[in-house]
């Protein structure tokens, strides 16, 4: 379900940065359409790699909290985290609230690796949409994150994966696949692309997606999160926010 | 989930491109902004044109008019995945609490585009005389079952060879007695009727007596069964 673009989380408003990149010349106005596949590959190596890694670590934190041995500490020993986006102490052992605190740290680590404030804003708005859906479909997510708050999408996706029993590989693959799918779907609206070509680009990126999965699936520590960026895409994203003519939010 | 004191009456405005949705919202704002606390969400297809048009019309505090991107999918945005719109409405309600009515303009689409009841409490479908006198007869879910059908720009009827009365009669026939309003922003009497409808609908929704109807993707239609009996129903299959 997580990898399905039809999930009602506002996916139709997203182009994974393709619209700003096209505006900056990607695809050469339709003369160099294979740029789109190259663009998706560049993201898999940079921005999407960070996002998938963040989701993997968020999943790890959630799974660890759910399986932690009960220590029997008093509930008031783990006070509210202070971050209104994270769920306050709500269980006898405080494991959920400790996990929430760690998730706050993952979110901060993601933010530090996402220099464009426009991209951060877009990812947090998407995370909010996922949280609203999760509140209805996977309400256990609310043990860790507060409903309807702006938490980066990869963190929310990681927590959803944690409470629904997805493996680290599955969540990494879902983030990577979703990103490529968002790029190629948006390309149909932005450039004169044959839909079958778009599908073959997606198929052609299979090995890149699996490489990403292998690289990030074993991560458990925040300090080990990759910090690979794509500064040009950050600049494009920043410019997009001031654009008047646009189809996609980001 | 919602705090009742900040929940507004959410009114959707749908209809094909250029039939006058933004102008109708501008009219409602200028007529009612003294009586009701209003907000507007636009679903522009390619630009923030509609939001800008409304802001520059000076009928409402520009900050109360917000645009939502639709990724070239105006239909999806008001029906299959209302999340971005719902978030925009709730944020507006929160930032300007309390609001009485939030008007949501759909991007101009085709005759099948209607709002999901998850997004709006009631909806207006806007046609115009310039689209041709037979559009009302063609029907569609918005025409048949929106809470109000507007036949707009009646002032243009003589120039486009449309008989407004006939168009309204056709529309009424398609709608089982639900209201149809012949409107022109240049005709004060019709504007007064529009104002009246919005006010009374606001009161009905507030009193909790209104259940949002879903115009649905397929209009109810009639056909003859094996025994020669007329049956009218709604369903999803094509025939
Ligand atoms: N003559 C006449 N023109 C009108 C009337 N209402 C709107 N118009 C004109 O119709 C045109 C389209 O109006 P809009 O309000 O922008 O229509 P819309 O449905 O919002 O258009 P989209 O958002 O692009 O689908 C504009 O040029 C308006 O000035 C009316 O009552 N009479
Ligand atoms: Mg408009």
The domain ranges of chain A are 33-221+229-241
In this predicted structure, the answer to whether residue A18 has a pLDDT above a threshold of 60 is yes
Cβ neighbours of A111 (radius 10 Å): 15
Ligand 1 atom closest to the Cα of residue B18 is 21
pLDDT score at B239:
36
Give residue for tokens 């005759």: B111
Residue B77 at interface with chain A, using a CB cutoff of 8 Å: yes
pLDDT score at B224:
45
Name the pLDDT band for B105 (thresholds 50, 70, 90): very high
Residue nearest to atom 32 of ligand 1 (CA): B153
Of B23, B78, B164, the residue with max ligand 1 atoms within 8 A of its CB, to mutate for a pocket test, comes to B23
What is the DSSP secondary-structure string of chain A? -TT-TTSTTTGGG--TTHHHHHHTTTTGGGT-TTHHHHHHHHHHHTHHHHHHHHHHHHHHHHHHHHHPPP----GGGS---S-TTBPPP-STT-HHHHHHHHHHHHHHHHHHT---HHHHHHHHHHHHHHHHHHHHH-GGGGGTB-TT----HHHHHHHHHHHHT--HHHHHHHHHHHHHHHHHHHHHHHS---HHHHHHHHHHTHHHHHHHHHHHTT---GGG------HHHHHHHHHHTT-SS-SS--
Q: Which domain holds residue B101?
A: 4-233
Least confident of A108-112, B112-116, B124-128: B112-116
Give residue for tokens 């699996």: A210
Nearest Cα neighbor of A81 from A149, A137, A129 is: A149
Residue B7 has what DSSP assignment? P
Q: What is this structure's pTM?
A: 0.82
Between CA A42 and CA A50 the distance in angstroms is 12
pLDDT score at B234:
43
More confident residue, B153 or A246: B153
Between CA A139 and CA A125 the distance in angstroms is 19
pLDDT score at B6:
73
The verdict on domain A33-221+229-241 having CATH code 1.10.4190 is yes
What is the DSSP secondary-structure string of A59-72? HHHHHHHHHPPP--
Report CA Rg, chain A. 18
More confident residue, B154 or B212: B154
Nearest Cα neighbor of A59 from A131, A154, A159, A139 is: A159
Least confident of A4-18, A106-120, A141-155, A203-217: A4-18
How do B221-224 and B122-128 pair as beta strands? unpaired
* Domain at B124, CATH number: 3.40.50.300
In a domain, B106, yes or no: yes
pLDDT score at A205:
97
Find the B152 Cα to ligand 1 centroid distance in Å. 9
Ligand 1 atom closest to the Cα of residue B156 is 1
The β-bridge partners of B44 are: B69
In 3-state terms chain B splits into helix, strand, coil percentages (rounded to 5) of: 40, 20, 40
Q: Please state the rounded mean pLDDT for residues B145-167.
A: 95
Q: Per the CB < 8 Å rule, is B71 touching A245?
A: no
Q: How many domains does chain B have?
A: 1
Least confident of A62-71, A117-126, A195-204: A62-71
In this predicted structure, the answer to whether residue B45 has a pLDDT above a threshold of 90 is no
pLDDT score at B71:
81
Helix (H) or strand (E) holding B23: helix B21-32
Q: What is the mean pLDDT of chain A?
A: 89
In a domain, B84, yes or no: yes
Find the B44 Cα to ligand 1 centroid distance in Å. 14
Least confident of A44-48, A227-231, B21-25, B189-193: A227-231
More confident residue, B238 or B124: B124
Least confident of A99-108, A158-167, B191-200, B207-216: B207-216
Find the B107 Cα to ligand 2 centroid distance in Å. 7
Between CA B111 and CA B217 the distance in angstroms is 10
In this predicted structure, the answer to whether residue B157 has a pLDDT above a threshold of 60 is yes
Which residues 6+ apart lie within 8 Å of B163 measured at CB?
Answer: B133, B157
Nearest CB among A129, A244, A247 relative to B83 is that of A129
Cβ neighbours of B163 (radius 10 Å): 12
Q: Please state the rounded mean pLDDT for residues B27-56.
A: 89
In a domain, B239, yes or no: no
In this predicted structure, the answer to whether residue B51 has a pLDDT above a threshold of 90 is no
Q: Please state the rounded mean pLDDT for residues A142-161.
A: 95
pLDDT score at A215:
97
In a domain, B238, yes or no: no
Which residues 6+ apart lie within 8 Å of B58 measured at CB?
Answer: none
In this predicted structure, the answer to whether residue A102 has a pLDDT above a threshold of 70 is yes
In a domain, B155, yes or no: yes
In this predicted structure, the answer to whether residue B2 has a pLDDT above a threshold of 50 is no
């Amino acid at each position: 379900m997580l990898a399905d673009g039809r999930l009602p989380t506002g996916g139709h408003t997203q182009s994974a940065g393709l619209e700003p990149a096209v505006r900056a010349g990607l695809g050469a106005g339709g003369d160099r359409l294979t740029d789109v596949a190259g663009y998706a590959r560049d993201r898999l190596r940079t921005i999407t790699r960070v996002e998938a890694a963040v989701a993997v670590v968020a999943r790890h934190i959630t799974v660890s909290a759910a399986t932690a041995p009960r220590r029997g500490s008093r509930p008031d020993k783990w006070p509210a985290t202070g971050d209104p986006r994270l769920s306050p102490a709500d269980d006898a052992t405080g494991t959920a609230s400790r996990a929430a605190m760690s998730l706050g740290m993952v979110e901060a680590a993601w933010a530090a690796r996402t220099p464009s404030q426009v991209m951060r804003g877009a990812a947090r708005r998407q995370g909010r949409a996922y949280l609203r859906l999760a509140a209805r479909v996977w309400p256990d997510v609310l043990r860790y994150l507060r409903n309807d708050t702006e938490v980066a999408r990869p963190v929310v996706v990681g927590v959803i994966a944690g409470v629904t029993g997805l493996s680290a590989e599955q969540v990494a693959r879902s983030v990577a696949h979703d990103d490529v799918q968002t790029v190629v779907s948006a390309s149909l609206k932005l450039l004169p692309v044959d839909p079958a070509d778009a599908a073959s680009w997606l198929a052609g990126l299979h090995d890149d997606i699996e490489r990403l999965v292998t690289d990030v699936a074993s991560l458990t520590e925040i300090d080990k999160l990759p910090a690979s960026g794509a500064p040009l895409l950050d600049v494009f994203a920043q410019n997009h926010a001031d654009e008047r003519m646009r189809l996609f939010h980001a | 989930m919602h705090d009742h004191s900040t929940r507004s009456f959410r009114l959707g405005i749908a209809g094909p491109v250029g039939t006058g949705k933004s102008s109708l919202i501008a009219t409602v704002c200028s007529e009612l902004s003294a009586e009701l606390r209003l907000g507007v969400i636009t679903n522009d297809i390619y630009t923030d044109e509609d939001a800008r048009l409304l802001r520059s019309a000076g009928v409402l505090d520009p900050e109360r008019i917000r645009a939502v991107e639709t990724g070239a999918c105006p239909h999806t945005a008001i029906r299959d995945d209302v999340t971005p719109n719902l978030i925009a409405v709730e944020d507006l309600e929160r930032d300007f609490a309390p609001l009485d009515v939030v008007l949501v303009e759909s991007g101009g689409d085709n005759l099948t585009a209607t709002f999901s009841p998850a997004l709006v409490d009631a909806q207006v479908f806007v046609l115009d005389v310039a689209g041709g006198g037979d559009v009302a007869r063609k029907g569609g879910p918005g025409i048949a079952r929106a809470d109000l059908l507007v036949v707009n720009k009646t002032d243009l009827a003589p120039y486009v060879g449309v008989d407004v009365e006939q168009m309204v009669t056709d529309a009424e026939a398609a709608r089982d007695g639900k209201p149809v309003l012949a409107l022109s922003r240049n005709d004060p009497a019709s504007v007064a009727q529009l104002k009246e409808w919005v006010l009374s609908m606001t009161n009905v929704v507030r009193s909790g007596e209104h259940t949002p109807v879903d115009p649905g993707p397929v209009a109810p239609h009639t056909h003859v069964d094996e025994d020669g009996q007329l049956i009218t129903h709604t369903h999803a299959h094509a025939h």
